[in-house]
Chain A
Amino acid sequence: MNAPVKTLNFSRRAVLKGGAITVGFALAGLPSRVRAQSAAVAKRILDSKEVDAFLAVNGDGTVTLFCGKVDLGQGLRIAIPQIAAEELGVNVDKITFIEGDTALTPDQGRTSGSNGIQRGGVQIRQAAATARKALVELAAQRLNAKAEDLETTGGMVRPKSGGTGISFADLIAGKQFDLKLDPKAPLKDPARYTIVGKPLRRPDVPAKCFGTHLYMQDFSMPNMLHARVIRPATVGAKLVSVDEGSVKDIPGAKIVRVKDLLAVVADDEWSAVRASRALRAKWSEGTGLPSQGGLVESLRNEPGIVDETLVNKGSPAAQRPDGAKALNATYYWPMQSHGSIGPSCAVADVSSESATVWTASQGTHGNQTSFAKFLGLPKEKVRMIYLEGSGCYGMNGHEDAAADAAILSRAIGRPVRVQWSREDELGWDPKGPPQLISISGAVSADGRILDWRTEMWIPKTTRGLPNIPLLAPEAAGLEHVPGLNTGLISQNGDPPYSAESIQVIAHWLKDAPLRPAPIRSPGKPANCFAVESFVDELAAAAGIDPVEFRLRGLKDPRAIEVIKRTAAMMKWQPQAYQLASTSNAIARGRGFAYIHYKHSESYVGMGMEVAVERATGRIAVERVACAHDCGQIINPDGVRAQIEGSILQTISRVLMEEVMFDRSRVLSVDWASYPILRFSGVPKIDIELIDRPTEKPVGAGEAACTTVGPALANAVHNATGARLRTVPFTPERVKLALTGKA
């Protein structure tokens, strides 16, 4: 326990609080992520109403932050310490960040919906502000000064006029704040920020470049077995029989079966891989899948659809004015995979008394409840510990691998590491659901949107579902809540522009062809694709420049600024909507799109320049310009990285990605059958950040995904006159559209 890493010296801490003794726990030495098996975990305060749940001042003047949100590569490991350091008045390098451990961190909800900063960070800011207020008051007593004459800086409370101060450690180390988060604790004036707003470097980057960062996939523990789970040949199939002799030639390999959950375990990973290939098992026919060819029609006609009016503003005029043009169009976004580069992995150590699970899940705290349920353990006996995995953008197979490992560990009484294969990951990760969207509307001769009606056919999230249903508990016949979870996929189905009437109708489907899960910016890339494509169609019908058309319908100055800034980056010259060219072998065009994410978060303007090779139907995105306003920026380099990632990942989704399946199972199970973007497809990207230090910070991890589809489709239309309304824009689809057959 004396390794020379960050020393979190809680070991002598013993504080009497409410009659209960909070005993010390030995964090010293171990990397924060690997303390798990340390024998004595203190009775930490985990109530997210308490300051002590979020932060502790240590004897050496360092501060430990306990964060329920986790860093998946999006940069919370620096951004949240920046927020806390700024508000407390301590240097950011004095902060140790602990994330996503149900025994140590308060439940701040799943790390999703682009809310790491806007919810998680803001909550920690208030905890830090409350702590600062308390520290200043303590110091005022000690210094015999007035609180308003003191300030905090560099881990000290000092008189504003200068002179000797008192360190935080002297004031409170070894004690607890014992304070509720005070929503009225004054926040630092953003004009005086010295840490927030700076492009500080992410602390995990060097280890990632030297190969020493500990990923979930790299974690192991003594006495651990390696497992591979064998999924059925057909979706919904039951295990009929297993040929026990089929793995006998592989040293140490054993078969583990819990009802229909089938796995092989071995002392080393390669033996487990070989055993999984050698294993022979017989499965029942299964429930199978719908026909992919008929999927779009079946969504519209699914029995059991429940209609809901999501937006109903104004009412359509009885008669449209003279010269009005009415249009309608249907758009489709297919099922897509998270496509994580590393297949999911987890380690679990489960006994009849307790469970410890190491997982790359974005929802460690939420999983504590659902894992306790299917393991039949009290919640407090289940500890979920986050370790960073390969990038996940919602919910890939991480949770499933964790459930696999937990159930197998319980079955064999040893720690188990489950590593999914590539085929497992692309075949069995929960998928982004299909979305079918029809829009009808009309534009007046002078370019006003008259009536607008969006109808969407989308799977409905099961109310009150704690999690996405997991494969292993279902296969093992354990208590588990069935249902669907898609994320909030119905938002932004209405245009952000003024219109005489706007209606959005959701036709909720009670089922989904494949198990659904939220994928980055759930649903909004499809909804924005439909809405912003249709806006372009209306602008074209009215003969108005698409940027001008959008500006006419907006009043919000932040919306107007991102659009104007994007147009300036594109050197956009307003002109009546026209095609860029019609005859060249390679047609070039430009497109535009805008979103106010969820109508309440980031503002994004996006312009795109594309080239379309007519003979092949191949699209090359040559340049993307993006103006982005996410309110107060915590770390501008982190925001840029998120925007770059949003753009590139969504170009991949729009141009290339669709889960392919037959009536038995998913067929697109490797990178040849489920291709994603490569370097040859990477455009030039220009980003302008608009910082608004006095606005609240909102999420930057998702919004720029949404504008990619429509900007791209609008650019292809500008180049060729062809409208692409079905994702992905494969060369075959583009060729059909170019010949008017799509």
Chain B
Amino acid sequence: MATYNLRINGNAQTVDTTDADKPLLYVLRELGLTAAKFGCGLGQCGACTVMIDGAAARSCQTTVADAQGKPVVTLEGLGTPEKPHPLQTAFINEQVPQCGYCTNGMIMSAAALLQSNKKPSEADVRSALDGNLCRCGSHVRVLSAVMAATGQRG
């Protein structure tokens, strides 16, 4: 059994596991942080996206060992009903989610984009989110919401 020291949503967290390859996704979910979703386990769909060191990362492809010592932000840590992130406000205003299973990944990938590009064009947003799959067809509203969150639309 090895112990890993993680920093999740600003809080120190120790995790004991015998498997250094355990994906961060399962670590988070066992801690009750279930916003990040299991979608494929292959890094293909984006449902499990979190931010690590300010960049979007697939938590199903990040091992607990790799995550050690780096700041991890999940959707729960991005904002709360009392203090929402502008993307969360915009996603609610645009009524983006249908089933909402992809929403975590959409918001986290967009949040990572906004870290480096405060006023992305719609093409930038499409490009940043192209690895995030949605099956219900909420794409048009995702684009509207991200543009609205950056103050570029109504």
Interfacial residues, chain A to chain B (CB-CB below 8 A): 72-75, 201-202, 204-206, 208-213, 215, 217-218, 251, 268-270, 273-274, 338-343, 388-393, 419, 421-422, 637, 641, 644-649, 670-672, 676-680, 682, 685
Contacts and interface: CB of A to CB of B under 8 A. Distances in A.
B133 A671 contact: yes
A213 B41 CA distance: 21
Contacts of B18: 251
A205 B95 contact: yes
Q: Is the interface of A mostly helix, strand, loop or mixed?
A: loop
B35 A391 contact: no
Nearest to B74: A211
Interface of B: 18-19, 22-23, 26, 29-30, 33-42, 44-45, 47, 74-76, 79-81, 84, 88, 91-92, 95-104, 107, 125-127, 129-143
B88 to A, nearest CB: 5
Given A391-B98, A421-B41, A208 B103 contact: yes
Contacts of A202: 95
B92 A341 contact: no
B12 to A, nearest CB: 21
A97 B139 CA distance: 28
Given A205-B92, A270-B23, A679-B126, A644 B137 contact: yes
B101 to A, nearest CB: 4
A386 B44 CA distance: 28
Given A268-B30, A269-B29, A671-B45, A209 B101 contact: no
Nearest to A649: B137
Given A270-B22, A679-B129, A391 B140 contact: no
Give the residue among B102, B126, B136 with the most A Cβ atoms within 10 A: B136
A114 to B, nearest CB: 15
A425 to B, nearest CB: 9
A671 B134 contact: no
9 contacts: A72-B99, A73-B98, A211-B76, A341-B102, A342-B38, A342-B47, A644-B140, A645-B137, A676-B133
B44 A670 contact: yes
A422 B35 CA distance: 18
A679 B92 CA distance: 20
A271 B127 CA distance: 35
Given A74-B98, A391-B101, A269 B44 contact: no
Give the residue among A72, A340, A343, A682 with the most B Cβ atoms within 10 A: A682
B137 A342 contact: no
A343 to B, nearest CB: 7
B154 to A, nearest CB: 15
Contacts of B129: 679
A672 B136 contact: no
A679 B38 contact: no
B40 A670 contact: yes
A204 B99 CA distance: 9
B42 A670 contact: yes
Contacts, number: 171
Contacts of A269: 26, 29-30
B95 A210 contact: no
A379 to B, nearest CB: 29
Given A209-B96, A270-B23, A682-B140, A391 B74 contact: no
Nearest to A396: B135
B23 to A, nearest CB: 7
A390 to B, nearest CB: 4
Contact of B101 (A75, A342, A645, A676): A342
B139 A679 contact: yes
Given A210-B81, A670-B40, A388 B95 contact: no
Contacts of B76: 210-212
A125 to B, nearest CB: 24
Given A73-B98, A341-B39, A682-B140, 12 more contacts: A73-B99, A204-B100, A211-B33, A211-B104, A269-B30, A274-B19, A340-B101, A340-B135, A341-B47, A392-B99, A645-B138, A677-B139
Give the residue among B92, B99, B129 with the most A Cβ atoms within 10 A: B99
A685 B37 CA distance: 29
Contacts of B40: 343, 422, 670-671
B39 A422 contact: yes
Contacts of A205: 91-92, 95-97, 100
A201 B95 contact: yes
Give the residue among A72, A391, A421, A647 with the most B Cβ atoms within 10 A: A391
A567 B49 CA distance: 42
Given A388-B99, A390-B99, A210 B140 contact: no
Contact of B88 (A210, A648, A685): A210
B47 A682 contact: no
A73 B136 contact: yes
A343 B80 CA distance: 27
Nearest to B98: A73
Contacts of B23: 270
A623 B115 CA distance: 31
A211 B143 contact: no
A422 B39 CA distance: 7
A215 B37 contact: yes
Given A341-B102, A341-B133, A645-B136, A422 B37 contact: no
A206 B107 CA distance: 13
Contacts of B84: 209-210
Contacts of B19: 270, 274
A66 B133 CA distance: 33
B142 to A, nearest CB: 8
A72 B53 CA distance: 34
Contacts of B47: 341-342
Contact of A685 (B26, B95, B103, B140): B140
A343 B39 contact: yes
Given A422-B42, A670-B40, A208 B97 contact: yes
A327 B132 CA distance: 44
Given A342-B47, A679-B143, A208 B100 contact: yes
B80 A210 contact: yes
B81 A206 contact: yes
Contacts of A388: 99
B92 A649 contact: no
Nearest to A201: B95
A338 B97 CA distance: 18
A343 B38 CA distance: 8
Nearest to B107: A209
Contacts of A680: 126-127, 130
A54 B37 CA distance: 34
A469 B98 CA distance: 28
A619 B101 CA distance: 28
Contacts of A204: 97, 100
B140 to A, nearest CB: 5
A682 B135 contact: no
Contacts of B136: 73, 391, 645, 649
B141 A641 contact: yes
Contacts of A251: 18
Contacts of A339: 135
A336 B136 CA distance: 15
Contact of B138 (A340, A392, A644): A644
Contacts of A342: 37-39, 47, 101
